[in-house]
Structure 1
Amino acid sequence: MASHFLLSAAARTLKLKNIYRMSDDEAFQAFAAIRFAETGGEAFCPDCGCCDPYFIATRRKWKCRACGKQFSATSGTIFASRKMAFVDLLAAICIFVNAAKGISALQLSRDLDCQYKTAFVLAHKLREAMAKGNDDVTLSGVVEVDGAYFGGHVRPENEKKDRKDRRLSENRNPDRRVVVVLRQRKGRTLPFVVKQEADGVEIIRQRV
């Protein structure tokens, strides 16, 4: 029986110990190779798609031969206009994706030795990038579905005469949400946040 992907060596291609042994130039090259993975690590213009830019080594940027625009390894990504060193960016990615149970911004700020606000924004950017990767994913085979309501609890009034029937839609807390999770056996897991159960049924029809 084949082991799960997360238990295989292919899931350990980005190692924290290797990242912190890199110089900033090596970290830049490693980041660029990941950024332009679809072209084998060769840079391409994010504006016009030209695959023949020339590299400005002193600025770590490329200039497009077609449209003349300059771009960096972070242009058009969640890390655009970044201030952190490439070593720290790679380390943040490694720590975040290797945390099987998730990681708090406070712990990330301690691991990276940065401010809490920096770690908070960085963690949410990584979550946003991971969510975008699921936009076009469809599941097949045996798919298990589960869901639950979260949030929106309203403490009932002490006096019975003042209480409202929270089962009625007009009396429910608008912050209450339904979390629906689709899990393909030996495959991907897709979580969704919707307002009501009916929305979850529509998502299942679209993704399975």
Structure 2
Amino acid sequence: MSAGTDPSRERVLGRVRRALADVPRHERPRDHRVPRDYLRVHGSRTPAETVGLLAGNLTDYRAAVHRTDTAALPALIGELLSRRGTRRVVVPSGLPEEWLAATRAERLADSPSLTARELDAVDSVVTGCALAIAETGTVVLDAGPGQGRRLLTLVPDHHVCVVRIADQVVDSVPQALERLTPTRPLTWISGPSATSDIELDRVEGVHGPRTLEVILVAGDPAAP
């Protein structure tokens, strides 16, 4: 061990070297197939039960969950923004205009020129999503149409996220990974941003919105 080397680091690396002592130097991880025989879904559920599980897990993570259909969606979004006292709402590119038809809040179109400081002055953001995972209560965004940049959903204090039940809800993480593109900027959201100190005092809004509202929309997935 050289002078100045962290002994804990050397201890860990020593254990790794001993564990790999019988592995030929030419061998690489891809030379051996890794069994992928884990469960893809835990249990059997109807589509309605899957949506119920998603709603329950989202609630456990302290997200506010709302259910509606495509016809009533604009009115619900307008109500949520009004209840929040939203005066300015940032809108990602590709978000259906109809979704915000019932709000009087000023709409701020997202653009690369919008800085984190400017987004911090916005009251709310409304987005769609790539999909939602029932077993973990997770909403995934991939910067697709209607979702915007990662910064857009991490800075404003209030995030309203719309999930289409018909084509965006999956049971499990393995199912989600099959549908996501790993090269896209993926943001996995399980409830509002939160952290705890050593005494387990929960603080929300440290590195994301303090309030997450998820709207589960039933109806034609092609409709807004």
TM range (shorter): under 0.3
Please give the TM-score of this superposition, normalised by the length of structure 1.
0.27
Structure 1 or 2: larger strand share?
2
Please give the TM-score of this superposition, normalised by the length of structure 2.
0.26
Structure 1 or 2: larger helix share?
1
